[in-house]
Amino acid sequence: MSTTTSAGTPPGTPEATDATTPVFSVDGLWKVFGPKAARVPADPELAALSPAELRSRTRCTAAVADVSFDVHKGEVFVVMGLSGSGKSTLVRCLTRLIEPTAGSLAIDGEDVRAMDKSRLRELRRHRAAMVFQHFGLLPHRTVLDNVAYGLEVQGMGRAERRERAAAIVAKVGLQGLEQRRPGQLSGGQRQRVGLARALAVDPEVLLFDEPFSALDPLIRRDMQEEVVRLHREEGRTMVFITHDLQEALKLGDRIALMRDGRVVQLGTPEEIVGSPADDYVREFVRDVPREQVLTVRTAMRPASSADEAGTGPALRPDATVSQAIEAVARAGSPARVMDDGRCLGVVDADALLGVVAGTGGAPREATERPGEADGPGTDLAKGADQRKEAV
């Protein structure tokens, strides 16, 4: 997805960073609660204990335990897990709303743990904005003034901030409701106000802490579509916390699945569903319709010269197995997987149905482009090995 640059650089923010520098870089991060918190990450024996054993021996709880990942510019990075997995604690550590116990944490290469109070305020006001589950709106203020609140904190003049707030209100679909107060809005509308308030300060990254979990299913779906639309239009970096697998698969470019404070698997939705790291992840994704998540790369075979000259339907490499099944069934012949005018491979009905059933998949040579063994076409088995190294 394309990205856009901010309208201006806040004072004290690094003016330029290398394009390859992660927005967030987290390495060996710990957050331990308890009387001996600092000892746990430093002691390999304690660090290796299960949550129950750690509580029994030290009366400590490791809410985040040795977590490592990078968030890249323009991606939606989802942290998913059940209640108590540590995901909300983790996102609060990113801006030191909760102080980490150990490990390194950087934004655009700058050490967040070394920031003084002034730099932290700059981080929270200009560079990273949070959207919470319970909205946090000011009940006595109108929609427009709630959206403009962050700009007021930044010191922007009244006329300018109200003009910018009005534009953001329209962007999130609340035009005409500017003068209403939160008590006059539905849950979905209040959440849109919260989203607009975060967008108004033009942050580099948006942090969502289970923002839609209290909403009705239909409203929740609408808000998910709103996030997808905003990301498509702006390409803004997002870190999204959720306990809902379907939400994670819908929104995430990559997903970190947490359990007991640790990341048990880190990968794309396709990797999580197609190559679960262990029985816990396998159980998590058991009921996911594989054909709606896995792409044709998991089912394609190498193309022969006859295939390349064929007249079957053409599919992009990111087409889902579901889309491929429909195309192959309609044409009554195998489909070619095409990218930039080049035939990468061919998928047929048997291979596609094997992927759906979980009994088949693509051979390694079919999922790699010539000369790109480590590129986006790398098969899921190799992807699993890379993820183990990453976490």
Report in angstroms the alpha-carbon separations of 289 from 140, 285, 292: 46, 9, 6
CATH superfamily of 296-357: CBS-domain (3.10.580.10)
Contact 133, 20 (CB under 8 A): no
HSE value, Cβ hemisphere, 13 Å, CA-based, for 153:
14
**253 Cβ partners below 8 Å, 6+ apart?**
75, 76, 77, 268
Return d(Cα 210, Cα 80) in angstroms, integer: 10
CA 77/CA 119 separation, integer angstroms:
24
Angle subtended at Cα 238 by Cα 369 and Cα 88, rounded to the nearest 5 degrees: 115
In tens, the pLDDT along 103-138 reads 999 999 999 999 999 999 999 988 999 888 776 788
Q: How long is the chain?
A: 391
CATH number of 70-288, picked from 3.40.50.300, 3.20.20.220, 3.40.50.2300, 1.20.120.1460: 3.40.50.300
pLDDT in tens, the chain (391 residues): 333 333 344 444 444 456 688 999 999 999 999 999 999 999 999 999 999 999 999 999 999 999 999 999 999 999 999 999 999 999 999 999 999 999 999 999 999 999 999 999 999 988 999 888 776 788 999 999 999 998 988 888 989 999 999 999 999 989 999 999 999 998 889 989 999 999 998 999 999 998 888 788 888 898 899 899 989 988 999 999 999 999 999 999 999 999 999 999 999 999 999 899 999 999 989 888 888 899 888 888 887 776 666 677 889 988 999 999 999 898 888 888 988 878 888 888 888 988 888 766 544 333 343 333 333 333 333 333 433 343 3
* CA gap 80, 249 in Å, rounded: 10
Could you give the CA distance from residue 181 to residue 185 in angstroms, rounded to a whole number? 7
120: three-class secondary structure by DSSP: helix
Domain boundaries, the chain: 70-288, 296-357
pLDDT of residue 19: 63
Question: Do residues 134 and 125 touch, judged by C-beta distance below 8 A?
Answer: no
CA atoms of 120 and 12, how far apart (whole Å): 11
Please work out, in degrees rounded to the nearest 5, the angle formed at the alpha carbon of residue 387 by the alpha carbons of 348 and 94.
125
